[in-house]
């Protein structure tokens, strides 16, 4: 059976405790540091905030991202032409 390449990747979040997060449906990682990761997913822009965050595995071919560290929040943001406000405060 042939796989349909136009099918939107499944977006899923799996949080174990507050230390391990598995995200599928990741299309691109916009920015990251130890306090925040901003990525575009098949469900929109996703922001993960916390402390000592590290990307353990990133596979854009498979659309999968593993995050380790203390996860404080996982938030979907509206994409706008100007990303000033929130992103400037997060990474400014």
Question: Strand 12-16 vs strand 20-24: parallel, antiparallel, or unpaired?
Answer: antiparallel
What is the per-residue pLDDT for 37?
A: 97
- Extract the tokens encoding 47: 């922001």
* Per-residue pLDDT tens over the stretch 56-86: 998 988 899 999 999 999 999 876 554 555 5
Q: Which residues pair with 22 in a beta bridge?
A: 14, 66
* pLDDT surpasses 60 at 88: no
Task: Give the predicted TM-score (pTM) of the model.
Answer: 0.77
Domains, the chain, in order of start with CATH, read 12-91 (2.60.40.2000)
């Amino acid at each position: 059976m042939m796989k349909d390449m136009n099918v939107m990747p499944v977006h899923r979040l799996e949080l174990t405790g507050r230390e391990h997060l598995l995200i599928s449906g990741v299309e691109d990682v916009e920015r990251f540091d130890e306090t925040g990761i901003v990525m575009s997913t098949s469900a929109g822009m996703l922001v993960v905030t916390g402390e000592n965050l590290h990307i353990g595995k990133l596979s854009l071919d498979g659309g999968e991202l593993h995050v380790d560290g203390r996860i404080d929040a996982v938030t979907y943001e509206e994409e706008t032409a100007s990303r000033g406000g929130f992103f400037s405060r997060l990474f400014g």
